[in-house]
Every structure is written in structure tokens, then in C-alpha cells.
Amino acid sequence: MKVVVFEKDDDSNHHIDFIHSSSTMRCNNYGIKKCDKLKTKLIAGKIIPALATSTAMITGFVILEALKVIDNKEFDKLRNTFSSLALNTHLQSEPMPPLKFKKTEMDIRFGGPSQPVIENSTKWDIIEIHGPKTILQLNE
């Protein structure tokens, strides 16, 4: 692997070709109005520096929190972070622990029908299923 510097004015590196084809696929998927390659080049020239700055900042915050989890820090040491480069604002807050469901509560997920929940489970919990199971075996 090697570092590649983004250069919008060098057509031989195909950076703009990749960005243009990716944005065209996104437009096709979501019904967004497409733009030509020249407009893509103009937009990318303005966005890429801001994107790189924002991405580096966000990645740093995520890695910092991941290191806390790996180091088994207490829950109250974790932070939610909000940053706005446009407003020159940086805020951190303590996340709330997940709510635990009671046996009588129903959980409505994705706008679908109500489902009974497991006592003291949270939305953060994971249910692992080992081996092939039938629907009846899952209800046991």
C-alpha cells in the first residue's frame, strides 16, 4: 500500500472518474439529479479538503472512545461528541445507559408489529443463535 494524494486536475489518476461514477450510482439509487463530470470536479475540489479534515477529526474521536472500551473503562468515562467546524463548536456529553425492558413491555422496531421482549434486555443486547434452528426451536 502507498499514500495517494488527491489531485482533481490530473485526469491520469482517475480520481474524478471514480468520484463521478460513484456519485452517478448514488443518483441512480436514490433518484437524485445527476451532474456532468466537470461539475463533479468543481464540487470535489471544494469538498475534499473539508471532508478530509472532518473525517480525521471524527476518526480521532471514535478511536479515543474505542480505546476506552478496549481498556475496560467504566461507562461514565465514555463520551458522546458533537463538533461543528462551521460554528467552531465542540461539545461532549455523558451517554445515558440503555433502558432495560420489563417483561410486560412491548418493543416496536422498524414500524412493524409489537414483539414481546426479554426481561432486563436492552437495545444494545445481542442474541446469538448457534446452529440451524427452526422457528419453533427459537420460541423455546
Domain count, the chain: 2
Model confidence over 47-102: pLDDT tens digits?
Answer: 766 667 788 888 899 999 999 989 999 888 999 999 887 888 889 999 888 888 77
Residues 21 and 52 in one domain: yes
pLDDT of residue 139: 66
Give the H/E segment covering residue 19.
helix 15-30
pTM for the model stands at 0.45
Identify whether residues 52 and 110 lie together within a single domain: no
Q: What is the pLDDT of residues 4-53, one digit of tens each?
A: 777 778 888 888 899 899 999 999 999 999 999 889 888 887 776 666 77
pLDDT digits (tens, 9 = 90+) for 108-137: 555 555 555 677 778 777 777 888 888 778
Provide the residue range defining the domain that includes 129.
Answer: 98-140
For every residue of 68-90, DSSP letters joined together read HHHTT--GGG--EEEEETTTTEE
Q: Is residue 21 part of a domain?
A: yes
Asked whether residue 31 falls in the same domain as residue 84, the answer is yes
Query: Which residues have CB under 8 Å from 78's CB, separation 6+?
Result: 65, 68, 69, 94, 95
CB distance 34 to 27 below 8 Å: yes
The greatest distance separating any two alpha carbons of the chain, rounded to the nearest whole angstrom, comes to 63
Tell me, yes or no, whether 114 and 57 share the same domain: no
Q: Which amino acid is at 71?
A: D
Does 111 map to a domain?
yes
Same domain, 39 and 88: yes
Nearest to 8 by CA among 45, 40, 46: 45
